[in-house]
Amino acid sequence: MSGAIFRIVALAADHDRRPFDSGCVALDHYFQRQVTQDIRRRVTACFVALTQGQRIAGYYTLASASLCLSELPAETAKKLPRYPSIPAVRLGRLAVHRTFHGQGLGGALLADALKRAARAEIAAFALVVEAKDEQAAAFYNHHGFIALSDSPRTLFLPLSKA
């Protein structure tokens, strides 16, 4: 990562979400307008990277999820019990403010999400993501995520590797 120092913490009421601009309107709007409602309803958790000046440089969301055993690659499925669905954690959204693109923050947020999911007391086999486009899928591929055979935009990374 560059010289910038970030602190990754749970989103709080005094964090200013309004100036957040990742370059992806849907991700920015969700963060500015909807995420707190989802947190209140307990359908998502949100973590932010803060600069030393308390500016939000990036965010990600996590929620529980499941993967169908039959959708997993045979190589992975054969090492798992024959349950129809396998517990997972969904990385719902991940975005970095434009000013900080290309400085390692996206990778650092992803690593933080993996660690957080791996150390949770409730078991989950993998972190799963729904890549919004080819570029996002390439980002996750670059970090070792594996695509489901029938759904190449859905990618997972076993938490045993985190």
Ligand X SMILES: CC(C)(COP(=O)(O)OP(=O)(O)OC[C@H]1O[C@@H](n2cnc3c(N)ncnc32)[C@H](O)[C@@H]1OP(=O)(O)O)[C@@H](O)C(=O)NCCC(=O)NCCS
Tokens 């920015």: give the residue.
28
Report, in Å, the least distance between residue 75 CB and ligand X: 23
Q: Is 140 labeled as catalytic in the residue annotation?
A: yes
Residue 138 Cβ, how far from ligand X at the closest point, in Å? 3
Q: Measured between alpha carbons, how far is 140 from 111 in angstroms, rounded to an integer?
A: 11
Binding residues (CB under 6 A) for ligand X: these are: 22-24, 27, 94-96, 101-107, 132, 135-136, 138-139, 142
Closer by beta carbon to ligand X, 25 or else 74? 25
Output 52 or 135, the one with its CB closest to ligand X. 135
Catalytic residue among 30, 59, 60, 140: 140
The secondary element (H helix, E strand) that includes residue 137 is helix 134-142
Closest distance to ligand X from the beta carbon of 112 (Å): 12
DSSP letters spanning 139-162: HHHHTT-EEETTEEEEEEEEGGG-
* Residue number, 6 or 125, with CB nearest to ligand X: 6
Under DSSP, the state recorded for 121 is S
Cα–Cα distance for residue pair 18/2, rounded to 1 Å: 25
Burial class (CB in 10 A: 0-12, 13-18, 19+), 126: buried
Query: 73: part of which helix (H) or strand (E)?
Result: none
Q: Nearest distance from residue 77's CB to ligand X, in Å?
A: 26
Chain residue whose CB lies nearest ligand X: 106
| Closer by beta carbon to ligand X, 38 or else 77 | 38
- Which residues does the annotation mark as catalytic? 140
